Structures are given as structure tokens and as C-alpha cells.
Amino acid sequence: MKDKLKVVIVGCGRQGREHSKGISTFPDAELVGFYDVVPEAAAALAKEFGGKPYSDLQEMLDSERPDASFYFLPPFAHGPEVESAKRGIPFFVEKPVALDLDVAKKILEVVKANHVLTSVGYMNRYRKSVNYARLAFQEDPPILITGGWIHGLPGIYWNMSRSKSGSPLHEQVTHTVDQARYFAGDVAVVSAFSARGFNKNVPAYYDIDDAVVLNAKFKSGAVANIYLSNASNAFGDVFMSVYAYDTAAVFEKWEQNLRLYRDHGAVQITINGEPDIFKIEDRAFLDAVKSGDRTLVRSDYEDALKTAAVTLAALESLRRGSPISLGAGGGIYGR
């Protein structure tokens, strides 16, 4: 086992920097390389955290021969992960895994062929609150799940473009969808409805829905209503509620602070969410790289592809005006 893992960063924007801050504090990890399509972004992180900036991804991977790679890419830019996969380099990638399922499936093929360790940034799977509730729901299965993200105009330009992100439903609310899957299992059918024409003072490239509701039927029999608003300026938050026969869990805010109810309304426990969750999920991935213990990763590439398929199916449902049935395993939705 190596004393220090060599780590490279692909995508040096806000998320690349945020994760680099945490990784740089690990005594057993060294940030050795940074790549971005904007050379100045790579140079800025290299100056801040050490290591070398690169303008060519393949050159960085071949020169540095890293033990682990981290990809922070907008939804439309996925695909470069295959460079790590075909070299057998473990990689962490921020969610969602792709805007095009065919791109993600090709990456998965290479991952499987080379037995590559992967991790996807569904951070809530590493929270104490979420895992405490999950244990309860394994004994008392969910019946109804509600939740979503309410906010005003997205702060990132590509989140306002269908061709760049699909929708914040796919890019942000994917966390809520994934958490619902973590509790209730794979989804069988998805339908969606949207509202348009309410948002004001939007840029010319804004072509997403103002609000979306995603309805899901799980293979377990549970149902969910998951929602998004991009046009609510008076109040915004992240919510989730899960209702089982004898158990209810209410999660609040980005941190997923939990109140778990039992005994006809009595609060059994409250657990606040961790503010440093990026650092926690990155630590789990690097521990898996060091030890070879893949169970430390709570969302690998194959499982995360199932979550992406749900939100992409919802967008397809909006286009068709009809429900979408998901294929075997939830990874491919039916045509």
C-alpha cells in the first residue's frame, strides 16, 4: 500500500476547487496534476494546491500515472472519463454521469472491461442522517416519497440550457432522485409535467421549464413525487419526506438534517447533516483506492447510471407527454 496517493483533477471550476481544498488536507494524498479545457483554470488550481497544470488530458494521465482521478464536468461535457477507465485508473466523477445515456453506457463498458474502481458524487449517501433512516426503511419499507429543490434562476449559465444540462432536474434534483432510490430501490415508471412562461428577466439562452414535477413508481410498489422550481424567489430550500407504515423521515436543507418519527408522531431522533460532506465522500473513495475495498463506495458508476436514467426519462416524458417505462435494472429506459 502506498504512503501517498497521486491524485489528478479534471475540471478546474468551482467544484474542482472545492474538492481540491479537502483532498489537499489528506496526509496520504498529493495533488499532482490539473487539467481543464480553459488552461488558466488549471493553472490557477495548480498554483493554489501544488502540482502541474496540463492542457492535454491524455498527457497528464500518461505523465503523472495517478493512483486516482477526479472529474468535475458539466452534464454536456462527459466522456473524458473513458481515458482513466481504459488506463485502469480509479475515478470519481461528479453527478449526473452524463446528459446522453449512450455516452455513459460506453464509459461503463470500458469500466467493466478493465475492472475499474469508480465513485459518483451522490454525497447524501455518506450522511449519517440518510444512512440512519435507510436502516429503518430496510425494516419498514417506504410507501410515499416527496421532495425536491425550490429556488430562483439557476446561478450557472449551463443550468439554464436544455442542451447543456437537460435541466436542473437532471443536474441538481438528481440528488433527491438518488436518495429516493437509496431508500426504495429501482424505479419502474416515470411521468412528468412542467410549467413554463412564469419566469421573468431570464437571459436569451434560458430554455428550460420553470417548474417540473416528476412522478415515479418503484419496483417495490412505492410511489414518489419529486419537484423542481427555477422561478421561486420568495423562498427556496431543499426538502425530502419519506413515509412508511410505522416510520416517517423528514429531511431539511442542503445538509439533509433529519427528524425521524415513530410511535404515531413521536420524534425518535434528530441528526444534523455534515457541512463537509464533499471531504467525507472523497475520503471514502481514496480509502477504497488504498485498500481495494469497493464496499466503501456507496454509489459506483453503474448504480449512478440508473439514477441518471430516471431524470432523463422524466425529460423524455415531458417531450412525449406520456409515461416512460424503465428497462431492466433501471439503467436503460424503453423506447
Read off the pLDDT of residues 252-278 as tens digits, 9 standing for 90 and up: 999 999 999 998 888 899 999 999 999
Residue at 178 is within a domain: yes
Residue 212 structural domain: 124-273+307-330
Give me the residues of the chain with pLDDT under 70, please.
Answer: 1-2, 328-335
137 and 110 inside one domain: no
17 and 118 inside one domain: yes
170 and 258 inside one domain: yes
Residue at 35 is within a domain: yes
66 and 91 inside one domain: yes
- For 167, residues 6+ apart whose C-beta sits below 8 A from its C-beta are 159, 208, 209, 212, 228, 311, 315
> Omega of the bond prior to 96 within 30 degrees of 0, cis?
yes
Residue at 130 is within a domain: yes
Tens of pLDDT, residue by residue over 13-69, are 999 999 999 999 999 999 999 999 999 999 999 999 999 999 999 999 999 999 999
Amino acid at 179: Q
Given the DSSP bridges, would you call strands 211-218 and 187-195 parallel, antiparallel or unpaired? antiparallel
212 and 257 inside one domain: yes
CATH code (residue 212): 3.30.360.10
Q: Which of 241, 233, 253 is nearest to 149 (CA)?
A: 253
In the prediction, which pLDDT does 1 show?
A: 56
What stretch of H or E contains 238? strand 237-243
Amino acid at 165: S
What stretch of H or E contains 144? strand 144-150
Residue at 255 is within a domain: yes
In the prediction, which pLDDT does 19 show?
A: 98
Cβ proximity of 199 and 210 under 8 Å: yes
26 and 145 inside one domain: no
133 and 102 inside one domain: no
In the prediction, which pLDDT does 329 show?
A: 45
What is the count of structural domains for the chain?
2
Q: How far is CA 19 from the centre of its chain?
A: 14
101 and 185 inside one domain: no
CATH code (residue 64): 3.40.50.720
In the prediction, which pLDDT does 100 show?
A: 95
282 and 188 inside one domain: no
163 and 139 inside one domain: yes
18 and 54 inside one domain: yes
Residue at 197 is within a domain: yes
Given the DSSP bridges, would you call strands 211-218 and 266-271 parallel, antiparallel or unpaired? unpaired
208 and 320 inside one domain: yes
SS (H, E, C) 63-100: HHCCCEEEECCCHHHCCCHHHHHHCCCCEEECCCCCCC
Amino acid at 65: R
Q: Which of 48, 44, 47, 4 is nearest to 28 (CA)?
A: 4
Residue at 335 is within a domain: no
